[in-house]
Amino acid sequence: MQDRTPVLQLRQISKRFGAVQALSDVDFEVYSDEVVALVGDNGAGKSTLVKTIAGAYRPDSGDYIFNGQRAWISKPSDATALGVETVYQDLALCDNLDVVSNLFLGREDGTRFGPAFADVLDEVEMERRATTVLKELHVRIPSVRTQIANLSGGQRQSVAVARAVMWNSKVVLLDEPTAALGVEQTQQVKELIKRLRSRGLGVVVISHNLADVFEVSDRIIVMRLGRRVATFETANTTSTEVIAAITGVGPQHRPNGANA
Amino acid sequence: MNQLSSQTQSNLVPDGSSLMGTLRQRVRQGNLGPLPVLIGLALIAIVFQLLNDTFLTPVNLTNLMKQIAATGTISVGVVLVLLLGEVDLSVGAVSGFSAAIMAVLSVNAHWPALLAIAAGIVVGGLIGLLQGFWIATFRVPSFVVSLAGLLAWQGALLRVLGTTGTVNLTDPLITNLANALLPVWLGWVLGLGTVGLYALLLLREHQRRRSAELPTASVLMLGLRIGLVALATLLMIGLMSINRNPNVEPAIRGVPMAVVIFAVLLIVFDYVTQRMRFGRYVFAVGGNIEAARRAGINVTGIRISVFMLASALAACGGILAGSRLYAVNQSSGSGDVLLNAIAAAVIGGTSLFGGRGRIWSALLGALVIGSIANGMDLLALPSSIKFMVTGAVLLAAVTIDAVTRSRRETNTR
């Protein structure tokens, strides 16, 4: 798997906030058809790394490489233009709008007669596409015209994920997708993540829940104190090893664990 | 938790096939729409008709519609602002000031009527631009900016009107804006045309949904919707087409222009908010401003333009009010104009918390407030009682809003 070109690669990324070195020379890569879990303790630099990938932060140094080509990302829309979508923990859904409106928010289908703001929305076409996408992803909601306010947490998460992948995206970043969910809904979201992989996407999952990480991921990248300290093939590792890397107290990870 | 969520799911299974099913589902979700206010209106009509049998006569109902047109127009703008989750306390003062600009330009400066009217509306829009810019750029709460506006434009009104304090409107084009009566045949043509267009729009969508294999409402529901709109529209036009001066010549019949203008604004802005990109973004900003921003929506632009529209609509309302009274004076746009405009929007069912509401609430709420005022006038009750009853109705409406909102929130997850 690792002989291929990663769909998205970051090389030697550093980012400093005032006196805090949030990221130091971090490499990161995700391949197509792969789920990478990004784990680490609070303050390890996971969020900074994800926001850098999403285009919300500009790194102080380092390269952003998409499909083997250097890319210049200075704002989130640059990343989405490449096909890199992010689902933040707060989901960024409008509770008062229905599922279709949320899936298409900011990218509505419509007929143009004059200026863009006066476009007449094509609700039928949007509903048709929304229904198709949700069916493909096996997302079960009562109706695509239900307001988000009336959906469960798992359904909301699924809608947010569907929105991220329906625009021909190549890489999806999921920030703590199961943190606020119950057991059954967590299961639904994990199934969804696996389905994204089988659609050929590169999926990056940030999670604190190692059980979930082991269930869905192919590789696990561990961050600690702003550095990437370890990488595991999920199939060939144990949670003890991963926890040791996260905390930095396990004997076998001292050498490449850098400054503790 | 799981039990709760699966229960919610079963509640949500769409049951649009039956009328009662839809209704029950909406009640449970705290999404009642215009139902409470329609029931309220019916109650008000029954009570006042029982107390005084002139209430439901063509003369009185036509008067009522004419009375609410100006406040209702201002209220359309208030609905837009409330949808954003903001408030605009300056709409009353802006309506008075803009009307004064028009009056002074027309009467004192002898501008042509159309130009004077346009100037009044443009001044209103510019005020909204200024206030919206202030709110969106400096992050000053809209409550405070528009409160400052209320005082400032009130002062500007006094200044513009000068020493006399009153400008009597003489230009027939301006006074006809509110008072002219549409020829009966034209009223019917416009009414039937509107209903026909509405039916066409619904049927076309029904057809497109069917060919896209999307779930469609039953033909019964479709017919019911068209039938109700047709009934309400044609009933109103029929009512206003009856001679309101039966005993003496000349006959007085036809829809007042003020009502026509109000109706056109309602239809246009309902279409803009429900069917156009701009409207979708207004709802998005009102629902979750951060989500809207991340979706690439120009949040600042949307906010500024909504405040502009609200002030321009306030100007239209002020001009209508001036036209109806044949004068603009120091009390134009003051007193209960502002409170009624905001109360109408809320009573009509637009949420104070942003993101939920329909333009139609401006009409429904204005009808409630107008009917109460009108009915009490017929009973010759003092304004002390009028104020207290309107206050109680407003409280009831806001309570319904708050209760359904908390029901929505506890209902989920």
Average pLDDT per run of 10 along chain B, which is 413 residues long? Answer: 38 49 66 79 94 93 95 98 96 97 96 97 98 95 96 95 90 95 95 96 94 89 93 94 86 94 97 96 96 92 97 98 95 90 92 92 94 92 87 84 73 48
Note whether residue A131 is domain-resident: no
Based on DSSP, count helices (H) and strands (E) in chain A, helices before strands: 8, 12
Note whether residue A117 is domain-resident: no
- Tell me which chain A residues have a C-beta less than 8 angstroms from the C-beta of B288: 92-96
Contacts of B207 by beta carbon, 8 Å cutoff, 6+ apart: none
Q: For B6, name the nearest residue in chain A, comparing CA atoms only.
A: A152
Chain B residues with at least one Cβ partner in A under 8 Å:
1-2, 5, 8-9, 12-14, 29, 31, 205, 208-209, 212-215, 272, 275-278, 280-281, 283-284, 286-288, 290-292, 294-297, 305, 354-356, 408-409, 411-413
- Tell me which chain A residues have a C-beta less than 8 angstroms from the C-beta of B277: 108, 110, 116-119, 121
Residue B296, pLDDT score: 87
Per residue in A81-108, pLDDT tens?
999 999 988 889 999 999 999 999 999 9
CA distance B116 to B383: 34
How is residue B231 written in tokens? 């009934």
Give the closest of A93, A107, A150 to B411, CB-based.
A150
CA distances, A132 to each of A93, A195, B403 (Å): 20, 15, 36
Residue B14, pLDDT score: 44
Token look-up 């969520």 returns B5
Give the closest of B1, B29, B296 to A77, CB-based.
B296
Contacts of B390 by beta carbon, 8 Å cutoff, 6+ apart: B340, B343, B369, B372, B373
Residue among B412, B360, B362, B371 nearest B393 (CA): B371
CA distance A23 to A10: 12
Residue B355, pLDDT score: 93
CA atoms within 13 A on the CB side of A37: 30
User: Can you give the length of chain B in residues?
Assistant: 413
- Cβ(B261)–Cβ(B73) below 8 Å: yes
Q: In CATH, what number is assigned to the domain containing residue A181?
A: 3.40.50.300
DSSP of B91-152: HHHHHHHHHHHHHIIIIIS---HHHHHHHHHHHHHHHHHHHHHHHHHH---HHHHHHHHHHH
User: By three-state DSSP, how is residue B353 classified?
Assistant: coil
CA distances, B40 to each of A181, B36, B228 (Å): 41, 6, 18
* Inter-chain CB proximity A96 and B287 less than 8 Å: yes
- Tell me which chain A residues have a C-beta less than 8 angstroms from the C-beta of B8: 150, 152
Q: How far is A83 from chain B (nearest CA, A)?
A: 15
Note whether residue A160 is domain-resident: no
- Cβ(B334)–Cβ(B92) below 8 Å: yes
> How many contacts, defined by CB atoms under 8 Å, are there between A and B?
120
Contacts of B81 by beta carbon, 8 Å cutoff, 6+ apart: B87, B88, B142, B306, B307, B310
- Cβ(A246)–Cβ(A239) below 8 Å: no
* Inter-chain CB proximity B212 and A124 less than 8 Å: yes
Give the closest of B208, B287, B354 to A124, CB-based.
B208
CA distance A171 to B400: 45
Q: How far is B295 from chain A (nearest CA, A)?
A: 5
* Inter-chain CB proximity B277 and A90 less than 8 Å: no
Give the closest of A93, A97, A142 to B283, CB-based.
A97
- pTM: predicted TM-score of the whole model, two decimal places: 0.90
Note whether residue A24 is domain-resident: yes
Residue among A124, A101, A114, A119 nearest B277 (CA): A119
CA distance A157 to A172: 13
Residue B15, pLDDT score: 43
**Number of domains forming the structure of chain A:** 1
Note whether residue A176 is domain-resident: yes
* Inter-chain CB proximity A106 and B295 less than 8 Å: yes
- Cβ(A154)–Cβ(A182) below 8 Å: yes
CA distance B78 to B88: 7
CA distance B52 to B31: 35
B139 Rama class: left (phi>0) / alpha (psi -120 to 50) / beta: left
Interface membership of A119 toward B (CB under 8 Å): yes
The distance between the two most distant Cα atoms of chain B, rounded to a whole number of Å, is: 74
- Tell me which chain B residues have a C-beta less than 8 angstroms from the C-beta of A153: 5, 413
Note whether residue A215 is domain-resident: yes
Token look-up 């301006």 returns B174
User: By three-state DSSP, how is residue B199 classified?
Assistant: helix
Q: How far is A119 from chain B (nearest CA, A)?
A: 5
User: By three-state DSSP, how is residue A175 classified?
Assistant: strand
What residue type is assigned to position B110 of the chain? H
Contacts of B57 by beta carbon, 8 Å cutoff, 6+ apart: none
State which residues form the domain around A239.
8-94+171-257
| ipTM of this complex | 0.88
Bridge partners (DSSP) of residue A172 are A85, A203
User: Can you give the length of chain A in residues?
Assistant: 260
* Inter-chain CB proximity A142 and B14 less than 8 Å: yes
* Inter-chain CB proximity A152 and B8 less than 8 Å: yes
* Inter-chain CB proximity A149 and B408 less than 8 Å: yes
**Residuewise pLDDT in 10s, chain A (260 residues):** 456 899 999 999 999 999 999 999 999 999 999 999 999 998 899 989 999 999 989 999 999 999 999 999 988 889 999 999 999 888 899 999 999 999 999 999 999 998 989 999 999 999 999 999 999 888 889 999 999 998 998 899 999 999 998 888 999 999 999 887 888 889 989 999 999 999 999 999 999 899 999 999 999 999 999 999 999 999 999 999 999 999 988 655 444 444 43
Contacts of B329 by beta carbon, 8 Å cutoff, 6+ apart: B161, B165, B166, B167
How is residue B258 written in tokens? 């003020």
Give the closest of B12, B356, B412 to A96, CB-based.
B356
Residue B2, pLDDT score: 39
Residue B8, pLDDT score: 37
Residue B246, pLDDT score: 83
Give the closest of A76, A96, A182 to B1, CB-based.
A182
- Cβ(A91)–Cβ(A145) below 8 Å: no
What residue type is assigned to position B187 of the chain? G
What residue type is assigned to position A96 of the chain? N
Residue B386, pLDDT score: 83
Residue among B318, B337, B183, B360 nearest B256 (CA): B183
Q: How far is A66 from chain B (nearest CA, A)?
A: 22
* Inter-chain CB proximity B284 and A123 less than 8 Å: no
- Tell me which chain B residues have a C-beta less than 8 angstroms from the C-beta of A93: 288, 291
Interface membership of A95 toward B (CB under 8 Å): yes
Q: Are strands A171-175 and A202-206 parallel, antiparallel or unpaired?
A: parallel
Note whether residue A159 is domain-resident: no
Q: How far is B412 from chain A (nearest CA, A)?
A: 5
Residue among A57, A52, A63, A75 nearest A204 (CA): A52
Q: How far is B232 from chain A (nearest CA, A)?
A: 27
- Cβ(B81)–Cβ(B311) below 8 Å: no
Interface membership of A78 toward B (CB under 8 Å): no
Residue A181, pLDDT score: 85
CA distances, B71 to each of A55, B33, B62, B92, B147 (Å): 48, 22, 15, 9, 19
Note whether residue A223 is domain-resident: yes
